[in-house]
Structure 1
Amino acid sequence: MTLVMAGVVVLDCAEPEKLATFYKELLDAEETDATPNRVEIRGADGLRMAFRRDATATAPSWPRPENSLQVHLDFHVADLDEVERRVIGLGGRPLDTKDAAGPYEERGYADPAGHSFTLRRARPTAPKQG
């Protein structure tokens, strides 16, 4: 019998409705619960996230040391360029994307409230041929 089950990733922010909308659109999620101070969503893959109102929330400052990295999320994607366009279109901003040396296998972004996350290229599951 499992004593502890995975719960919900909760991000504190000043505007939970606005941040929930960003992640709903990014993850093709649905809202599962909402109160004046908290909004919860569930992604198509079952990931549960909630956004809790904190009027004094301070956005993380990563990569600067002050206020550091409070939380970090990784999302696996098949096409970095396509999802990057979606993130920016939804109000996210790049923190660490690609440079002239060529594309990375991962790229860093901030959501509209400043929480950082990484888009990581999903590895193929089929074995290499040849």
Structure 2
Amino acid sequence: MRVSDIVIDCPDPAALARFYSGLLSGPTTGGIAGEIVREEDDWVTVDLGGGPRLAFQLAPGHVPPAWPDPSRPQQFHLDLEVDDIDEARALAETLGARFVEEHVGERGYGFVVMIDPAGHPFCLCRTE
């Protein structure tokens, strides 16, 4: 048994797939493939260059999480490792993401919390 797709429910699969395709194919994320490999009205799949793919499924009436509000929990999020967190954040914002907060830990390791265009949280994480 293996994981084939990580599926994200959203109101507009094509738009969210384009967001993640653009984000994941950028130089700040290490050039993960990010190619859209399947597109239908209610389902779009993005190749990650091996292993599971990201798939975006139409969810009419989708209500995004209200992170960090526990009344509408996030349920899952993606951690994306990047070489340059400032460049990755700028790219994400250009593509339609919204910045939430930054966390910096010991030895300079840290991450920023972002919200994608459909309201899902994700983190841009500095490489150690």
Give per-residue Cα distances to partners, 1:92-119, cap 9 Å, x unaligned.
00111269xxx76111001000101111
Give the corresponding residue for 1:16: 13
Q: Per residue, is there more helix in 1 or in 2?
A: 2
Give the corresponding residue for 2:63: 58
- Asked which structure has the greater CA Rg, the reply is 1
Give the corresponding residue for 1:128: none
Q: How many residues align?
A: 117
The secondary structure found in structure 1 opposite 2:37 is strand
Contact 2:96–2:117 (CA under 8 A) maintained in structure 1: yes
Shift of 1:44: 3.8
Which runs of 5 or more residues in structure 1 are unaligned? 124-130
Give per-residue Cα distances to partners, 1:34-81, cap 9 Å, x unaligned.
111000011246551000001111111111122111211101011000
The secondary structure found in structure 1 opposite 2:64 is coil
Q: Which runs of at least 4 in structure 1 moved beyond 2 Å after TM superposition?
A: 43-47
Higher alpha-carbon deviation: 65-74 or 10-19: 65-74
1:9 aligned partner, one-letter code: I
Give 1:87-98 correspondences, 5 Å limit.
87-97=92-102
Matching of residue 122 in structure 1 with residue 120 in structure 2? no
Choose which of 7, 16, 24 in structure 1 pairs with 2:4. Answer: 7
Give the corresponding residue for 2:113: 108
Give the corresponding residue for 1:25: 22
The CA distance in 2 between the partners of 1:55 and 1:104, in whole Å, is 38
Give the corresponding residue for 1:76: 81
**Superposition RMSD in Å:** 1.7
Shift of 1:122: 1.2
Percent of aligned pairs sharing the same letter: 34
TM-score of the superposed pair, with normalisation by structure 1: 0.83
TM-score of the superposed pair, with normalisation by structure 2: 0.84
